[in-house]
Chains A and B, each alone.
Chain A
Amino acid sequence: MSESDTQSKPQIIELKKLTKTYYRGSEPVEVLRGLDLDIEEGAFEALMGPSGSGKSTLLNLIAGLDSPTSGQLLVAGADLGKLNDTQRTKWRAQNVGFVFQTFNLMPVLTAAENVALPLLLTNLPAAERKKRAETALSVVGLGDRMHHYPRELSGGQEQRVTIARAIVTDPRIIVADEPTGDLDRDSAEEILNLLGRLNTEFNKTIIMVTHDPAAAERATVIRRLNKGVLA
């Protein structure tokens, strides 16, 4: 799989000469070196590369978790480099859904309550929050597990709850950092199928970091990073 052929779609992510430099003590470490990248809305892209290549840093920047050192970072209509922490946080709540390698659900909340967490930040009434959480859980195939606590779910089911939490606010972008890293093969297949469905049926733009070539194959575009530059 290589470049997508959907050139007519609008760009949702635009990176221009993007750099990110960290400091280890007083020594600068340039993680991303002048990246230029455009991603269309509705794309399903995989980011691959060796450890330390900068793929997680790039994902964090696209997701609005971090700000670039220089360059332009336009995502879902916002110039993220110009937003402060609070503005980026609010932007994330509206535009990005997160799927992590470890599921990190709140153990004291049921599946439905975990999914409804991001909706607590909205002005939606409780009944509407509950309805949307139930809908999201139905989309991921866990309509019958709404009142189960995380400890009562398998790893694959927990990750599906995480995905339901990621889509409950109907974000335009879903970022997934090694979403199948902690799962067995069958569960990983289920999760990848689900991400594929969210992409094709719900037009979600998905950016997935993975080490797993089989997982990357499910994306429409695979990009490789090496030492802070796109290969």
Chain B
Amino acid sequence: MRLAELGVRNVMRSRFRAIMTVFGVAVAILAFIMLRTVLSAWTVAAEVAAKDRIVTRHKVSFIMPMPAKYYGEVSQIEGVKETCSMNWFGAKDAAHPDEFFGTIAADADACLKVYDELLITPAEHEAWKQNRSGAIVGDALAKKLGWKVGDRVTLTGSIYPGEFPFQISAIYTATRKSVDRSTFYFHYEYMNEWAKTNMPTAADQVGWIASRVLPGKRAADVAKAIDQHFDSGDIQTLSQDERSFNTSFLGMLSAVLTALDLVSIVILLIMMLILGNTIAMGVRERTQEYGVLRAIGFLPKHLALFVLGEAATIGLLGGIVGVAISYPIVELGIGRFLEENMGAFFPFFRIPPLVMVMGLVLALLLGLLAAIIPAYQATKLNVIASLRKVG
């Protein structure tokens, strides 16, 4: 046995209290990891955005549409390589009314050129283009709703009220895990034809236009050229590279992100208080023993070592348990749920390895920090007073 081992052994003096404290630290670390993963997942879309992709939208608001003719005009602007119009459709599968997924009307021909991270075979792409009511869906969505290629599904529109029958032409995967694999893409023309007949005010309009720029061209310059082109029109545009677009979208959530940051810090502080209380109770209960140790030759620094060793052990154990339980809970449970149900916001909900390491290190460091006052108190123990309690 060594000196440091004594502190470690002390952890199991009061097993129930030690287990509950370790569990408390573990829950705090789990909450910390979960919140940091939310923050990471939320910002990952901005971080992995294509640098040569521009999104053009109505200057006033993202939710206001633009004339469909803008789509053709954007493609003519110098520096633009490919363009694709998109409309948020907002529909649900009547067979799964509680399941939310993105439904986007797009130019089937151009869509996969602009979003080349969406993968289907050329044959599947051709089949989609040939089928007016064809749709491609992400593999995560298809798996969740049990859809296969060739299946017929009917979506009920909310923005465009009506029943829309579709046939699944392909199930797309993605080149990166950070791409949303829960979206339903179908032909813009299919929606527009319906609108011309049933909802003329919504016809011949596009929600946003995504473009890729030619090699050697700066996305910012091309975006500026697009906006200048529409400056004199009735409806002005706002074009941003995809990262700026995603960041501006995150900007709307900045208060939420800041709150999550603060909550994760508060959780760690609570963990520190729980741990500090446990250690302080242990020191108080062991006053007599520490008195005996001091009598037989142990110095104040040895007592501090015992106390800090005990706190570090509990902190580290709590950290290990917290990280261990975070994998099944965050990645296999909540993460899967969010990816399948809120893939547009959380396309890739996985715990970053750095967050796991942070969880462990913080559990250890905050454990030591929590024990500083009890350790100091132990060093200031009056030997005679504590021995008086003995005999």
Chain A residues with CB under 8 Å of chain B are 56, 60, 63, 65-66, 86, 89-90, 92-94, 97-98, 100-102, 104, 106-109, 113, 116-118, 120-121, 126, 165, 177-178, 181
Contact = CB atoms under 8 A, between A and B. Distances in A.
Interface string B287-318: 01100111111110010000000000000000
A117 B13 CA distance: 17
Given A100-B387, A104-B288, A116-B1, A63 B295 contact: yes
A22 B10 CA distance: 35
A2 B295 CA distance: 30
Contacts of B292: 98, 100, 104
Interface string B360-391: 00000000000000000000000110011011
A65 B296 CA distance: 10
B391 A89 contact: no
Contact of A117 (B296, B383, B384, B390): B296
A187 B51 CA distance: 85
Contacts of B332: none
6 contacts: A92-B297, A93-B296, A94-B297, A101-B390, A104-B289, A108-B12
Contact of B299 (A89, A109, A117): A89
Smallest CB-CB A-B distances: 6 pairs: A93-B297, A101-B391, A108-B9, A104-B292, A177-B391, A100-B390
Given A92-B297, A100-B292, A104-B288, A66 B1 contact: no
A109 B296 CA distance: 16
Contacts, number: 71
A183 B299 CA distance: 30
Contacts of A63: 295
Nearest to A122: B297
B6 interface: yes
A181 B288 CA distance: 17
Interface string B1-37: 1110010011011000000000000000000000000
Contacts of A90: 297, 299
A165 B384 CA distance: 20
A109 B391 contact: no
Contacts of B388: 56
A181 B292 CA distance: 17
A92 B293 contact: no
Interface in B260-303: 288-289, 292-299, 302
A104 B215 CA distance: 79
Contacts of B9: 106, 108-109
A107 B6 CA distance: 11
A89 B390 contact: no
Contacts of B299: 86, 89-90
B391 A118 contact: no
B267 to A, nearest CB: 31
A100 B391 contact: yes
A168 B3 CA distance: 17
A97 B297 CA distance: 10
A126 B5 CA distance: 13
Given A102-B390, A104-B288, A89 B3 contact: no
B281 to A, nearest CB: 16
A65 B384 contact: yes
A89 B12 contact: no
Contact of B293 (A66, A94, A117): A117
B386 to A, nearest CB: 10
Given A98-B295, A118-B297, A106 B6 contact: yes
B61 to A, nearest CB: 66
A117 B388 CA distance: 21
B47 to A, nearest CB: 49
Contact of A120 (B1, B10, B384, B391): B1
The CB with the most chain A CB atoms within 10 A, among B2, B3, B299, B302, is that of B299
A88 B66 CA distance: 88
B298 A66 contact: no
Given A100-B292, A104-B292, A60 B391 contact: no
Contacts of A106: 6, 9, 289
B317 to A, nearest CB: 16
Interface string B338-354: 00000000000000000
Contact of B298 (A100, A102, A121): A121
Nearest to A108: B9
A143 to B, nearest CB: 19
Contact of A121 (B297, B387, B390): B297
Given A100-B390, A106-B289, A113-B1, A66 B384 contact: yes
A85 B183 CA distance: 74
A109 B2 CA distance: 12
Contacts of A101: 390-391
Interface in B178-214: none
A104 B296 contact: no
Given A60-B384, A65-B384, A66-B384, A178 B391 contact: yes
